[in-house]
Structure formats: C-alpha cells, structure tokens
Amino acid sequence: MAQMNCRHFSGYKPCSKSQSCDSECASLDIPKVSILIIHLGALGAVVRSTSLLKAIKRKYPSSMLTWVTDAPAHLLLQNHPGIDRVLTSKESDLLQLGPLEFDVAFVIDKSLKAVGILQHTQVDQVYGFTANSRNGAIMPATPAAEELWQLGLDNHQKFFVNKKPETQLMVEALELGPFQRDAYWLPLTAVEQLRLQTRRNQFLANGKKWVLGFNTGCSNVISAKKLTVEFHRLMITSLQSRYPDAQVVLLGGPEDTERNLQISQGLSVISSATESGLRDGLISVAACDVVVTGDSLGMHMAISQGKQVVAWFGPTCAHEIDLYDRGVFVLTKSPCSPCWKRACEKSIMCYDQVSLQEIVHAVESCRTNSLSGGLAAGNSASEALSSDLA
C-alpha cells in the first residue's frame, strides 16, 4: 500500500527513492511535525538564517520544512538537504500553501508582507513576529521575541548595548532551545563541488599558492557598505606587493560588473563572473582562501563556506555578525558609526575612515590561520554540516 505520509511521496510521479512504495521501503520517512519558515528579507540575511536549521532539527527531529522567501533568494535554498520545499512570495507559489497545514511557523521578518503570508495557510503555533490587526504594527508573536523586537525600536540598545549576534537573537526569539552557536548551513551540491575544484584550479593556474578574494560591492539599500574603487585598488596593490604568491580575485554580482572592471584596470587580478547567478557566485567565494568584504551577501556567503573573512564595518553593527572564529573585524574610525542610514551627505564618509594598515594586518592573520588549517580547508565545511544534519 502506498505510504502517502512519507516525506518522499508526491502522489503524481514514481518515487526517486524506491521502485515500491510500501512499509518495507528503506527510505520510508514519515515526518511528525510540519514546519513553515518565512524569511523574505535581504539575501545575506536569508543565508544567515540557515544557521537556524540545526536548532530546528534538534527541537523537531522528525520535521518537514517548507521555506517561503522572496526571489531570487529561493535559488540559494533550492536542493538544500535540510529543506523539503522552497517557495517564493509570488502569488503562484503562495497558492501551493493553501492545501497545507503546519504545526509551527517561524516568521523571521518584521514585515506585514511576511505576516500576511500566514493568511495563505493554516498554522497552529507562530513564533517570531506577527502584526496588530488594527494598525498593522509588527508585534512579537510570543514573549521570547520581545528582546529582538525591542532592538528594532531603540537605536541606542541596538548600536551600543546589545552584544549578541543576530544568530543568537533569532534562536532565542524563536524558542529553539539553548543557543549552541550553530554555523550557517548552505552546502554545495555534488556537481557544484566538482565545479569548485575546477574553478580553484583555474584561479591558481598561473602558479599562485592561495586565493585572496575581494567582495567589492553590496546592494543599493545601504550603498555606504562598499569601499571606493580607489581604495580597492590601493588595497590590492599593497597586498600584492606583500604577498606575491596570492591570486587576487574580484567577487560580486551583476551590480558590480562595471565597478570590478574599474578596479581591475591595469592590475593583475581575476574578475569572477558576475552575471552567472547566485549559486555560481557562491562557488567563486568557496574557491577563495581569504575574503575581504563589507557587511553584505558576499560576507555571509564567505561565512557559510567556512572561509577566513576580513570584514569591515561602517554604517552597520559588527557585533551582530558571528565570524565563527574564522576572521577579523575592521571597524571604521567614523565617530557616527554605526548608524544604519540608507543615505548620508557627509563630506568624509565612514568608508573613507577605514584603515588600510588594519586590513593588511587582518589579511596576514587570516592567511596564517588558513595556512595552519590547510589552504581552502573550509571548502569541506558545508559537506560536514550536511552530513551532521542528515
């Protein structure tokens, strides 16, 4: 008899796990809890939220996970071994929520749109955030989310009092048990692992010994999270003179194509493909040993792949980020940092007050740590996490 409650049963095509669908199937897996994760937010924040998956699996060991996010973040989460279904916030995808019922929903975004997605399905218990039905104000869904909610209302608390990373705040807000500092979980597929090795070989084809990546840009939401073209060129020149055995690779997305062209002008660097999609960009990041980056998607990608990270901060809060002891923070000297402002008219910007010397020293520290662990040792980090959570 067909096992209709099995995780792998679709009801419209043969199962990929077995020719016979019965109680004797070795792959039979009947989840006891159905979970909905709603995190639409920024791409980097979605990558960071993969750190929640291990805690979710600990609290709900036999669970089936559906994750709803905004496009194109779904491309990062597709084929994830810990997520059963990935949907976008498009109407055609939300229709698929209609027939489903969930025991638990985690609403991570503080937004009406995220809360509104709950109206497309049925949920018994909501953690994270909800909304006041009268005026649309975002509210904690349970008392546990009060601390994270309050930080969004008080800049002094957020900027100067709070010392917890966002990963810890989320675990506590969602009532996922004691915080265990779980790493991001964004593994490469087997095919991507092969492409990673090919790409790394391409980066080192000219006899260089290690790969130093520069994530040069960021989204346009807070444009001050990227350094100037001139400063990037100065950094690269300084570091290449210090480390002639390093291959410098420029990283980024479509918005960074022209910028990377300007940075690379006359320099001996490799510009990675910026128009080949998020997963291809993830592979390029994974092929590096050390990544220099601002607070952006590229930083979160580097953290997810176990890279040594030199992360500089201007308008945003460094204490909200966990580098998992694999990197160095470089903070602007600007007295008004952090501010989280989307626009600034100061004549001397926070990114103009980042120390080149500090970045050079930070790269030296990260290079030493990478060498001590074997160059590109972090490439297997996502595989280890995948195995641990399988």
Among 144, 173, 202, residue at a domain's last position: 173
Pair 104, 31: CB distance under 8 Å: no
If asked whether residues 380 and 244 sit together in one domain, one would say yes
The number of folded domains in the chain is 2
Task: Tell me the β-bridge partners of 66.
Answer: 36, 85
Q: What is the average pLDDT across 206-224?
A: 89
Residue 75, domain extent:
33-173
pLDDT band at 376 (very low <50, low <70, confident <90, very high): low
If asked whether residues 95 and 223 sit together in one domain, one would say no
Confirm whether 46 is domain-assigned: yes
If asked whether residues 243 and 334 sit together in one domain, one would say yes
pLDDT band at 371 (very low <50, low <70, confident <90, very high): confident
Confirm whether 21 is domain-assigned: no
pLDDT in tens, 298-344: 999 999 999 999 999 999 999 999 999 999 999 999 999 999 888 88
Confirm whether 54 is domain-assigned: yes
Give the number of C-alpha atoms closer than 13 A to the C-alpha of residue 75, restricted to the C-beta side.
11
What percentage of the chain reaches a pLDDT higher than 70? Answer: 94
**Mean pLDDT rounded to a whole number for the chain:** 92
If asked whether residues 168 and 194 sit together in one domain, one would say no
Confirm whether 359 is domain-assigned: yes
If asked whether residues 122 and 238 sit together in one domain, one would say no
- Give the CA dihedral 151, 155, 161, 167, nearest 10 degrees: 40
Nearest alpha-carbon partner for 223 in 316, 359, 333, 319:
316
Tell me the two tokens of residue 373. Answer: 């662990």
pLDDT band at 384 (very low <50, low <70, confident <90, very high): very low
pTM of the model: 0.91
If asked whether residues 222 and 337 sit together in one domain, one would say yes
SS3 of residue 372 by DSSP: helix
If asked whether residues 255 and 369 sit together in one domain, one would say yes
Confirm whether 179 is domain-assigned: no
Q: Residue with structure tokens 């460094």?
A: 318
What percentage of the chain reaches a pLDDT higher than 90? Answer: 81
Residue 115 has pLDDT above 50, yes or no: yes
Q: What is the CATH number of the domain that holds 43?
A: 3.40.50.2000
Residue 182 has pLDDT above 70, yes or no: yes
Confirm whether 181 is domain-assigned: no
Residue 354 has pLDDT above 60, yes or no: yes
Q: What is the average pLDDT across 209-221?
A: 90
Confirm whether 9 is domain-assigned: no
If asked whether residues 116 and 206 sit together in one domain, one would say no
Pairing mode, if any, of strands 138-140 and 122-131? antiparallel
Among 139, 173, 207, residue at a domain's last position: 173
Residue 232 has pLDDT above 50, yes or no: yes
Q: What is the average pLDDT across 28-43?
A: 89
If asked whether residues 211 and 357 sit together in one domain, one would say yes
If asked whether residues 162 and 222 sit together in one domain, one would say no
If asked whether residues 161 and 207 sit together in one domain, one would say no
pLDDT in tens, 137-170: 999 999 999 999 999 999 999 999 999 999 999 9
If asked whether residues 140 and 247 sit together in one domain, one would say no
Angle formed by the axes of helices 190-203 and 278-286, nearest 10°: 60
**In this structure, which amino acid lies at residue 202?**
Q
pLDDT at 179: 98
| DSSP E strand boundaries for the chain | 33-38, 63-69, 85-88, 101-107, 122-131, 138-140, 210-215, 246-251, 270-271, 290-293, 308-313, 327-331
Confirm whether 153 is domain-assigned: yes
Task: Return d(Cα 78, Cα 357) in angstroms, integer.
Answer: 40
Among 173, 205, 226, residue at a domain's last position: 173
Strands of the sheet with 246-251, listed across from one edge:
270-271, 246-251, 210-215, 290-293, 308-313, 327-331
